[in-house]
A and B are shown apart, each in its own frame.
Chain A
Amino acid sequence: MRPRPSPHLTLFPHGLSAGAKLLLYLLISILLITADARFHAMAFLRATGNTLLYPIQVTAQTPWLIIRQMDTFFTRQQLLLAENKQLHQQAINFQIDAWQLQHVLQENQQLRTLLALRNRQSLVSHAAEILSVPRDPYQRQITIDIGSHAGVRAGAIAVDDSGLVGQVTQVYPFTSQIALISDKDETTPVQIQRTGEHAILYGTGDGIELRYLPSHADIHQGDRLITSGLDGLYPAGLPVATIADSQSNSQTFAHIDCRQLANIDRHNHILVLIPAPRSGASH
């Protein structure tokens, strides 16, 4: 092994020279990167590493949790009362909506059975907290605090109270990673709410855009995009984005920038929607 550290800086260290070491590590890295990026062969190593990191991630989160708790502890009572009243009003409104929805759902189900259509899959939702946002600009991904223990599966979708956040890409025992819809590998099938036109929303790494719509498509700034549910993965009707800017110069396809509706910066909580096990196959 390596000699005991001497009290002075060693002028002539034993062992491999720094250059040789670098070369060795370079080769190992290339092997690792290839195995990981090309063949996805490192799933086990990745899961192990992430499980080992979990306690550190939780530790990093703790000061913020404490600050947030202190913050809420000193909230004025008046504020709470006002908020309570408002929430109460909202709850009543939602209740009325829920009754109507139930009625409509029932009706819809009957109609669907009449038409022999597949029933819509119901979803189970799990509340999750955002643990960390990676530093790496190449990944638009976030880590959340529930994993395979809570029943999360790869492909599950994540929403917050204003819209679609993204999709679960990696599941570890206690944490999982979500690719945001702005991640450059993400595509989301959407529908323009006003016109009903179908389109595909691409993440570009630092934003989202609609591609392959003809330049004469009927699109206005501020139009809302909702999931179309065509791929069978996203349930239909989730709000996704609004049109921010559409330039239709003489190109064949319009260049349409969109703005994401979900705002994970504002709060740390999101919902993960997992398809519920189907109770019975419908014919």
Chain B
Amino acid sequence: MPILAPPATAIPTHHHGTTITVSLLLALVCNLLPWRIDWLWLRPDFLLLVTLYWAIYRPDQIGVGHAWWLGLVEDFADGAHLGQHALAYAVTIYTVGLFQRRLFNFPPWQQALPVLVFLLIDEIVNLVIATFAGDSRTPLYYAFSTVTGMLCWFVLWIILHQLHNKVPHEKS
């Protein structure tokens, strides 16, 4: 059961960024999927989740700078204020960086709670920026998307771990 006790703690570095790029692109595509308006408050931010994953497992590849640019792409996709998601992503990934060593060794069910906190940080930064930029009256139930995001974390973790460890991994 890899989800309960992941086999290795060594950081594999022997494959290049293709997996990362492709997974981030796919996450963006997921974010762009048409979604029923009534259920928008349930929609998790896939791009942020995948960025979180790589920030935890490949901190040498995905850092604050990359997160900022990815956030900018999300701004374009959402039609939000340019820089809104960029800043939120950068702050979130910076926080991830503070706890990266610990998170790296956690099994996914233990990562879930910190992931929820990271998604909330993203949500709060977004809320603050939107409020400062003049948007008001945000329905609070949109914060619920962080919970669906946390649930998606398990699925994403399994998929990405498969991709991540596909390249030679002598154990097991």
Whether B65 contacts A131 by the Cβ 8 Å rule is no
Residues in B whose Cβ lies below 8 Å from that of A218 = none
Q: Determine if B138 is an interface residue (Cβ-Cβ < 8 Å).
A: yes
Encode A12-51 as 1/0 by CB contact (under 8 A) with B. Answer: 0000001101100110111111011100001001100110
Query: In this complex, what residue of B is CB-closest to A184?
Result: B137
State whether B32 touches A57 (Cβ < 8 A): yes
Q: Are B29 and A21 in contact (CB under 8 A)?
A: no
- Residue B139 CB within 8 A of the other chain: yes
A135 contacts across to B, CB distance below 8 A:
31, 35, 40, 43, 45, 78, 145
User: Can you list, as one digit per residue, whether each of B60-86 has a CB less than 8 Å from chain A (1) or not (0)?
Assistant: 110111001000110111111111101
Q: Contact: B40 with A137, CB < 8 Å?
A: yes
Bound Cα distance A53, B72 (Å): 12
CB neighbours of B68 from chain A (8 A): 25, 28-29
A7 near B14 (CB under 8 angstroms)? yes
Binds A, one of B89-97, B106-114, B155-163, B164-172: B89-97
Whether B77 pairs with A37 at a CB distance below 8 angstroms is: no
Residue contact B28 to A22, C-beta cutoff 8 Å: no
Interface pair B94/A22, CB less than 8 Å apart: yes
Q: If A9-B11, A138-B80 touch, does A29 touch B90 (CB 8 Å cutoff)?
A: yes
> Measured between alpha carbons, how far is A61 from B81 in the docked complex, in Å?
24
Interface string of B32-71 (1 = CB under 8 A from A): 1111111011010100000000000001110111001000
A35 partner residues in chain B, CB cutoff 8 A: 82
Cβ-defined partner of B129 (8 Å) among A18, A33, A184: A33
4 more A-B contacts (CB under 8 A) besides A7-B13, A9-B60, A137-B138? Answer: A18-B97, A26-B91, A53-B32, A136-B79
Residues of A within 8 A of B (CB): 5-10, 18-19, 21-22, 25-26, 28-33, 35-37, 42, 45-46, 49-50, 52-53, 56-57, 59-61, 64, 130-139, 141, 143, 170, 177, 184, 204-206, 264-265, 268
